[in-house]
């Protein structure tokens, strides 16, 4: 039983000296700051995105990635930065106008390897840490990404998407054949595609019959001393193609450098679109021999060897076909084959984790009640313990002496920065302040966490963001946001797409409820959304609206609802269920369950939550299209042509129904975006359109 399970759900999440210190240094104050102005749309693009901190082998430095928006180029620019662990002035290492990212230290600390598209395609580059220019390590036709060093520094493993029929040939030949096929496709006037099985497209890209394979290249003094070698040839992927099953680099070298553990489907199969089965494998690098390490029918992944080589730790789910099942942290004893879970009694999903240097414990990320703390669990067993609480913490690294954690931390009030938490004393130091000057300009109110009774009296948590200049006794329009997933959550974290602080800055109270299906409130709570999309979850949300209507600061006659993905679905469901909102915003939302099933990329999601159309007679029970005859609330519909998760026809069908019904409506269509709006200029236009729509209906 973890100490998390003993908390009353209405207790504050911030608990313990370290958590309180973090909250003081990195969150907004309880009231409004003395800053001069509300956040503006432009500020979202002025903020830098800080991520992926990596501690040097000697524990003296941290390299990290800073991504800035290039508005003129309508793109993002990522560079590597270095800062001393003891504090000091950060130093910029790369200045490419494109993406330099995913830095990893060589074991001797003399080199960094990273991925970059500075040449036009993503390749690997190395950079001497004592100065000099980056130099290319790979030139693969099929690109290279996610570099990882072997413990002896003699090899680097990486990922490349290749055509499997060429993968068992020597590298120069296979690379030539891949290059020729790419050129042939590019030059051919015929752009037709022929498919023989599902999962032929994913998120916003066509798969093209390629497989993600692992390669290993020998290196010396930062340079390749031989050809890359495909160590996972064949017609299957060697890393998860879906982000659902990935926690980062989903492969790792053993401490002796003799084998590489990785995540893959157990056999080449036509069932990939409706199966969640992933198992762990290991390949002996000297011989190419591969063996299967796990046989769990559900998902296993993210293998990590203990520093002493005794164990292989990994994440695993129990229920096949369910992508939102609880991830547990497992240990495989390499000598005996014994397997055991370290988090059996921990009622939350383990995300990325890292070993302590002495191999006696692991640190990991897991959500809890609208936040993402960092946790520690001992290999010997015992309670899972919080070590950092409040906000959204990630990218955790342990210093070589085991005394400190390096991490990123964000909140609803400010973007992520790199921090150091001292485990022994509970003290905290901020290593970066990239966004300090921007944040200081804002008038910000800290988020408030409230609880109310949902369906059946179940406690439901909700975040509130009040507008800058909030005055007690005054009423404000409300925007009620529904999160995606549905197995997701509104966290006390920062977003560059749906940013509640920016919405509140328009003069609205913003409500962020976590109803049935939300993660971080126990697995049973997550499970209760499946097969019941328009049931208890809808009741939870309406109970939240009722609670808000009773608050003295909310204009109950000036309320809007907005959401994306599942949130867009729920907005569509609102259309046929309630007239409590003055207007709605539906971004990439599911509208017609049958059409969605036949066109989405990952069928396992639909089949677990709704079943199969020709098998389940109630498949369409919660489908919004059935209630189109009731639609009357003005709605802004948004969709992208390249959205292969919830295809663009869902938005088109919704807009057609609204127009045919004579409901005031607008369709914002992006031909060059997928499930998210990522290009800076498109994002700017998205925000302008959404805020203008809200203002039309919410302002007096």
- Predicted confidence band of residue 428 (pLDDT cuts 50, 70, 90): confident
Q: What is the pLDDT of residue 265?
A: 87
- Predicted confidence band of residue 608 (pLDDT cuts 50, 70, 90): very high
Domain positions in the chain: 97-230, 447-698
**DSSP state, 106?**
-
Q: Which residue has the higher pLDDT, 34 or 267?
A: 267
Kindly list the distances between the CA atom of residue 486 and the CA atoms of 533, 586, 587, in Å, as whole numbers in the listed order. Answer: 8, 15, 14
Strand partners, 341: 330
- Predicted confidence band of residue 676 (pLDDT cuts 50, 70, 90): very high
What does the DSSP assignment read for 443-457? --B--EEEEEE-GGG
Checking if the pLDDT of 97 tops 60, the result is yes
Look-up: residue for tokens 């397997």?
339
Average pLDDT (146-169) is 97
Q: What is the pLDDT of residue 700?
A: 72
Q: What is the pLDDT of residue 11?
A: 38
**How many Å apart are CA 683 and CA 670, to the nearest integer?**
10
Average pLDDT (161-183) is 96
Checking if the pLDDT of 5 tops 50, the result is no
The answer to whether 286 and 258 are in contact (CB under 8 A) is yes
Count the alpha carbons within 13 Å of 226 in the hemisphere toward its beta carbon: 13
H or E, element range at 104: strand 100-105
Kindly list the distances between the CA atom of residue 338 and the CA atoms of 294, 302, 333, in Å, as whole numbers in the listed order. Answer: 11, 18, 5
65-75 pLDDT, tens digit per residue, is: 999 999 889 99
- Predicted confidence band of residue 2 (pLDDT cuts 50, 70, 90): very low
Checking if the pLDDT of 21 tops 70, the result is no
Judge: domain 447-698, CATH 3.40.50.1820. yes
525-569 pLDDT, tens digit per residue, is: 999 999 999 999 999 999 999 999 999 999 999 999 999 999 999
Tell me what percent of the residues of the chain surpass a pLDDT of 70. Answer: 95
Average pLDDT (304-328) is 97
Q: What is the pLDDT of residue 270?
A: 84
**How many Å apart are CA 209 and CA 55, to the nearest integer?**
37
Q: What is the pLDDT of residue 426?
A: 77
Q: Does 675 participate in catalysis according to the annotation?
A: yes
- Predicted confidence band of residue 242 (pLDDT cuts 50, 70, 90): confident
**How many Å apart are CA 575 and CA 581, to the nearest integer?**
9
Checking if the pLDDT of 44 tops 90, the result is yes
Q: Which of 27, 643, 683, 687 is catalytic?
A: 643
Q: Does 565 participate in catalysis according to the annotation?
A: yes
Q: What is the pLDDT of residue 296?
A: 94
CA 2 to chain centre: 25
Q: What is the pLDDT of residue 23?
A: 43
320-358 pLDDT, tens digit per residue, is: 999 999 999 999 999 999 999 999 999 999 999 999 999
Range from 18-27, 286-295, 467-476 carrying the lowest mean pLDDT = 18-27
Q: Which of 639, 675, 683, 687 is catalytic?
A: 675
Average pLDDT (101-128) is 97
305-340: b (≥16 Cβ within 10 Å) or e: bbeeebbbbbbbbeeebbbbbbbbbbbbebeeeeee
Q: What is the pLDDT of residue 375?
A: 97
Q: What is the pLDDT of residue 4?
A: 37
Checking if the pLDDT of 693 tops 70, the result is yes
Checking if the pLDDT of 166 tops 60, the result is yes
Checking if the pLDDT of 291 tops 90, the result is yes
Q: What is the pLDDT of residue 243?
A: 84
Checking if the pLDDT of 274 tops 90, the result is yes
Q: Does 643 participate in catalysis according to the annotation?
A: yes
493-522 pLDDT, tens digit per residue, is: 999 999 999 999 999 999 999 999 999 999
Q: Which of 565, 586, 665, 683 is catalytic?
A: 565
Helix (H, G, I), strand (E, B) or coil at 433: coil
Q: At what angle do helices 536-549 and 566-577 cross, to 10 degrees?
A: 70
Q: What is the dihedral of CA 145, 149, 153, 156, to 10 degrees?
A: -30
Tell me what percent of the residues of the chain surpass a pLDDT of 90. Answer: 89
Q: What is the pLDDT of residue 12?
A: 35
Q: What is the pLDDT of residue 30?
A: 40
Q: What is the pLDDT of residue 164?
A: 96
Checking if the pLDDT of 376 tops 80, the result is yes
Q: What is the pLDDT of residue 24?
A: 38
Mean pLDDT (the chain) is: 93
């Amino acid at each position: 039983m973890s100490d998390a399970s003993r908390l009353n759900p209405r207790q504050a999440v911030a608990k313990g000296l370290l958590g309180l210190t973090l909250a003081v240094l990195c969150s907004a104050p309880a009231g409004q700051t003395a800053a001069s102005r509300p956040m503006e749309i432009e500020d979202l693009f002025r903020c830098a995105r800080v991520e992926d901190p990596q501690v040097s082998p000697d524990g003296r430095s941290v390299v990290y990635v800073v991504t800035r928006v290039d508005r003129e180029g309508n793109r993002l620019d990522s560079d590597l930065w270095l800062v001393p662990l003891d504090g000091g002035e950060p130093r910029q290492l790369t200045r490419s106008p494109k993406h330099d990212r995913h830095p990893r230290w060589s074991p001797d600390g003399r080199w960094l390897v990273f991925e970059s598209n500075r040449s036009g395609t993503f390749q690997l580059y190395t950079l001497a840490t004592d100065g000099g220019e980056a130099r290319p390590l790979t030139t693969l036709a099929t690109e290279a990404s996610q570099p990882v060093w072997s413990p002896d520094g003699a090899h680097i493993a990486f990922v490349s998407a290749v055509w499997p029929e060429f993968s068992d040939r020597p590298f120069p030949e296979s690379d030539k054949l891949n290059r020729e096929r790419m050129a042939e496709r590019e030059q051919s006037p015929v752009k037709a595609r022929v498919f023989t099985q599902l999962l032929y497209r994913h998120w916003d890209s066509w798969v093209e019959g390629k497989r993600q394979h692992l390669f290993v290249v020998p290196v010396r003094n930062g340079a390749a001393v031989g050809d890359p070698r495909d160590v996972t040839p064949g017609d299957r992927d060697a890393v998860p193609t879906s982000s659902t099953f990935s926690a980062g680099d989903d492969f790792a070298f053993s401490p002796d450098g003799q084998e590489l553990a990785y995540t893959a489907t157990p056999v080449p199969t036509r069932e990939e679109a409706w199966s969640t089965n992933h198992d762990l494998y290991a390949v002996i690098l000297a011989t190419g021999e591969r063996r299967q390490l796990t046989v769990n029918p559900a998902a296993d992944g993210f293998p990590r060897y203990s520093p002493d080589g005794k164990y292989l730790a990994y994440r695993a789910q129990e229920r096949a076909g369910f992508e939102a099942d609880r991830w547990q942290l497992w240990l495989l004893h390499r000598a005996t084959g014994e397997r055991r879970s370290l988090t059996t009694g921990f009622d939350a999903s383990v995300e990325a984790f890292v070993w302590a240097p002495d191999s006696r414990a692991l640190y990991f990320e897991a959500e809890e009640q609208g936040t993402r703390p960092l946790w520690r669990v001992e290999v010997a067993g015992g309670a899972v313990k919080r070590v950092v609480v409040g906000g959204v913490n990630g990218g955790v690294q342990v210093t070589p002496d085991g005394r400190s954690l390096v991490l990123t931390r964000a909140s609803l009030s400010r973007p992520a920065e790199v921090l150091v938490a001292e485990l022994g004393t509970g003290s905290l130091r901020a290593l970066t302040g990239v966004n300090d000057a921007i944040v200081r300009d804002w008038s910000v109110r800290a988020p408030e966490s409230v609880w109310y009774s949902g369906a059946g009296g179940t406690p439901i948590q909700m975040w509130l963001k009040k507008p800058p200049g909030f005055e007690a006794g005054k009423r404000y329009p409300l925007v009620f946001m529904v999160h995606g997933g549905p197995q997701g959550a509104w966290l006390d974290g920062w977003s560059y797409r749906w940013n509640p602080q920016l919405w509140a800055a328009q003069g609205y109270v913003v409500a962020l409820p976590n109803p049935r299906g939300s993660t971080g409130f126990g697995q049973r709570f997550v499970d209760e959304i499946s097969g019941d999309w328009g049931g208890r979850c809808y009741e939870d949300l309406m109970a939240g609206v009722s609670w808000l209507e009773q608050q003295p600061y909310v204009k109950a006659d000036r309320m809007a609802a907005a959401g994306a993905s599942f949130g867009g679905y729920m907005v569509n469901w609102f259309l046929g269920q309630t007239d409590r909102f003055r207007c709605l915003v539906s971004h990439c939302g599911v509208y017609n369950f049958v059409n969605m099933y036949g066109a989405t990329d990952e069928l396992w999601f639909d089949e677990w939550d709704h079943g199969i159309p020709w098998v389940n007679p109630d498949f369409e029970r919660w489908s919004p299209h059935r209630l189109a005859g009731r639609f009357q609330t003005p709605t802004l519909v948004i969709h992208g042509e390249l959205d292969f998760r919830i295809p663009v026809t869902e938005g088109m069908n919704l807009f057609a129904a609204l127009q045919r019904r004579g409901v005031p409506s607008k369709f914002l269509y992006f031909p060059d975006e997928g499930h998210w709006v990522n290009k800076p200029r498109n994002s700017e236009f998205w925000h302008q359109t959404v805020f203008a729509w809200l203002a039309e209906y919410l302002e007096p």
